[in-house]
Structure 1
Amino acid sequence: MKVLLAGASGALGGRIVRELTAAGHEVAGLGRGARNVLRADLLDREAVLRAVDGRGFDAVVHAATALQGKSLMRHQDMAPTDLLRTEGTANLLAAARETGARRFVAESMVFGYGYGDHGDAELTEADARFGPRSADPWLERHVGALRTKEELTFGADGIEGVSLRFGLFYGAGSTDTTILPMLRRRVLPVVPDKGRALAWVDIEDAARAVRLALTTPGAAGQAYNIVDDTPIGFGSHVRAVAEAFATPAPMTVPLWLLKPAPLAYAIMSTNLRLAGGKARRELGWVPVHAGCATALRALADRPALAGADAPLAA
C-alpha cells in the first residue's frame, strides 16, 4: 500500500513508519517538520492539498499531535492538539479524497470516554458512549475534539474510516522522553491511586495495531480499544518506571495539591479501564506486553536507548 502519514516524525508516527515499511508498504510523511516528505501545516487546508497534488495513496493515517515538549499540566497544553483533531482531520480527509485513498485510520485515545471515575468495570466499544459531553468547558474541548475526530472519520463519504482508541503510551520514544527525564530531575510528583487505574499500551504494540487497521478488510467503520491487559494507576505506573530505571522514587502528594495544574489533576483523578477483546477478535491484534512492568524492564536493558529509538520519518 501507499500510505500518507500525518505525524510521521512523532513518537507513535516513527513506530508506524517502521512497522509499515517492514511489512513492505510505502509511507510518505506529511507535516511541517523538515523530515517529512510532504511539507504542510495540517491546519492549512490549501497547503495540505497543494502538498498532495498529483499524488496517489491507498490510505491515510492521522497520528498527528502537538504534545512533544508539553508538560500536560495546563489545559492550554492540549489546545493545539485539539485543533489537529478537528480542523486537521477535516483537511486530511480532503487530502484522502484528492489522492484517491479509500481507508482512513485515526489515532484516538482513552480519554475520549471522558475524564472522571468510570468505576472498576472495563469499558467496551459497545457499552460506553464515546465523547460524552462535559460541563467543564476545557474538558468538553478536549473530549469534544476526540468526538469530532471520530464523527468526521466515520461520516466521510467514500472513505473506510477506522478509529483506534489507544491507552496511554509507554515504551521507547515515550517513557524515555517524558516520565523518565522528569523522574531523574525529581520534578514528577504522583498522587495515591486509591483504587484508580488507567488503560495503557506499549507504543510499538500501538503501531502494529495501525498496520492491522490498514490491512484488515472488516475493520472499516469500526472503533477499537487498543490497550494492554493490565490497567494500572498513574502513580503505580510512574513508580514502575522508577524501579525499572533505578531512579529516585517519585514524591507522593495529595491530589488536591494538583488543582493549580488542572489538566494533570483531571488525568490523575480519572479511573478508566478499557477492554481490548474486540481488537483481538477482529484485527488479530495481541499486545506483546501484557502490562508495563515487563516492558519497562526490557526497555531499561536496551543499549543506547535514546539514540537507537529516535523517531523516524519517511
Structure 2
Amino acid sequence: MKVLLAGASGLLGQKITRELRAEGHEVAGLGRGAGNAVRADLLDRQAVLRAVDGLGFDVVVHAATALQGKSMMRHQDMAATNLLRTDGTANLIAAARETGARRIVVESMMFGYGYGDHGTRPLTEDRDAFGPAQLNPWLERHVGAMSAKEELAFTADGLEAVSLRFGLFYGAGVTETTVLPMLRKRALPVVADQGRALSWVDADDAARAVAAAVGAGRAGQAYNIADDTPLGFGAHVRAVADAFGAPAPMTIPLWLLRPAPLAHTIMSTHLRLANAKARAELGWAPTHPSSVDGLKALAATGQEVAA
C-alpha cells in the first residue's frame, strides 16, 4: 500500500518507515524537513493540502510529535505536541480525504487515561475511560489533546481509524541516547516508586504495532501497546544503570520535583496497561516481557554512547 506518514523524520517515524518498507509498502514522509517527500508544516492546513494535491495514498499515519529533545520537565514542553494532536490531526484528516486514503492510524499515549493513581488493575481499552477530566488545567490540556486526537480520527467520515496508546518508550535510539548519558553524568535522580508502576514499550515494538495497524485492527478501535510487566520509573532507570554498568541514580524525595511539575506528575502516576486486545486483534506482542529484559538485550548489542 501507499502510506503517508506524518512524523517520518522522528525516532519513531524512522522505525515505522523501516517496518512498513520491510512489508513492501511505499512510504512518503510528510513534514517540514528536507528528508520528507511531502514538504509541509502539519499545522498549516493550506500548505498540507497544496503539498498532497494530485497524490494518492491508501493509509495515513499520524506519528508527529514535538517531544524529541524536550526535557519533559515543564507543562509547556507539551504545548507544541498538543497542537499537533488537535489542529495537526484535523489537517491530516483533510489530507487523507484529498488523497483518497481509506484508513488513518494515530499515535497516542497511556496518559490519555489520565494522570494520577489508577491502582493495580491494568487498564483496558473497552472498560476504562480515555480522556477523563483533570483537575489541573495544564493536565486537562494534555489529556484533552490526546482524547481529541482519537475523537477526530474516529468520527472522520469515510475513514477507518485506529489509535495506538503507547506505554513509555525505551530501547534503541531512546535509552542509550537520553537516559544513559544522564546517568553517566549523575544528572538523573529518581524518586522512590513506593509501589507505583508505569507501562513501557520498546520503540521498535511500537513501530511494529503501527505497521500491524496499517493493515489490521477494527475501525474505530484503540489498542494499548505495552509490554507485559509494568515497572516504576525509578526501577526502570536503575535497570538501565544495571544493564549498562552506569552509576546508580540518586534517590530524592518527590517534593523536590515540584519546580518541574510535569516530571512530578509523571513520577507520581500509577498506571498499568493491559495488552490483550492488541495481541488478539493486531497479532502484536512485545519482543521482551519486561523493559528489564529488553534493556539487558540492548546492552548486549553494545549500543552505548561515550561516558
Determine the structure 1 residue equivalent to 2:297. 298
Query: Within 5 A, what are the aligned runs for 1:34-113?
Result: 34-113=34-113
Query: Does 2:143 match 1:143?
Result: yes
Contact preservation (8 Å) 2:176, 2:303: no
SS at match of 1:141: helix
Query: Does 2:6 match 1:6?
Result: yes
Moved more, 287-296 or 144-153: 287-296
Letter in 2 for 1:95: A
Determine the structure 2 residue equivalent to 1:275. 274
Determine the structure 1 residue equivalent to 2:15. 15
Query: Does 2:128 match 1:128?
Result: yes
Name the CA distance, whole Å, in 1 between partners of 2:238 and 2:192. 11
> Deviation of residue 86 (structure 1)?
0.4
> Deviation of residue 303 (structure 1)?
4.1
Name the CA distance, whole Å, in 2 between partners of 1:196 and 1:23. 38
Structure 2 stretches lacking a partner, 5+ long: none
Name the CA distance, whole Å, in 2 between partners of 1:160 and 1:244. 41
Contact preservation (8 Å) 1:166, 1:227: yes
Query: Does 2:35 match 1:32?
Result: no
Letter in 2 for 1:156: A
Contact preservation (8 Å) 2:278, 2:284: yes
> Deviation of residue 302 (structure 1)?
2.0
Determine the structure 2 residue equivalent to 1:241. 240
SS at match of 2:154: helix
Letter in 2 for 1:38: V
Query: Does 2:192 match 1:192?
Result: yes
> Deviation of residue 305 (structure 1)?
5.3
> Deviation of residue 177 (structure 1)?
2.2
Determine the structure 1 residue equivalent to 2:265. 266
> Deviation of residue 126 (structure 1)?
1.3
Aligned pair count reads 305
Higher relative contact order (CA 8 A, sep 6+): 1
Moved more, 32-41 or 142-151: 32-41
Contact preservation (8 Å) 1:198, 1:272: yes
> Deviation of residue 9 (structure 1)?
1.0
Name the CA distance, whole Å, in 1 between partners of 2:212 and 2:69. 29
Structure 1 stretches lacking a partner, 5+ long: 307-314
Letter in 2 for 1:242: A
Moved more, 265-274 or 182-191: 182-191
Determine the structure 2 residue equivalent to 1:309. none
Moved more, 262-271 or 288-297: 288-297
Deviation digits for residues 269-307 of structure 1, max 9, x if unmatched? 00000100001111111111111112111212224557x
Identity of aligned residues (%): 73
Determine the structure 1 residue equivalent to 2:228. 229
Name the CA distance, whole Å, in 1 between partners of 2:304 and 2:242. 17
Letter in 1 for 2:232: G
Contact preservation (8 Å) 1:82, 1:145: yes
Letter in 1 for 2:28: A
Contact preservation (8 Å) 1:172, 1:305: no
What is the aligned-residue RMSD (CA, Å)? Answer: 1.0
Contact preservation (8 Å) 1:161, 1:222: yes
Name the CA distance, whole Å, in 1 between partners of 2:115 and 2:17. 31
Letter in 1 for 2:261: P
> Deviation of residue 175 (structure 1)?
1.3
TM-score by length of 2: 0.97
Name the CA distance, whole Å, in 2 between partners of 1:177 and 1:145. 28
TM-score by length of 1: 0.95
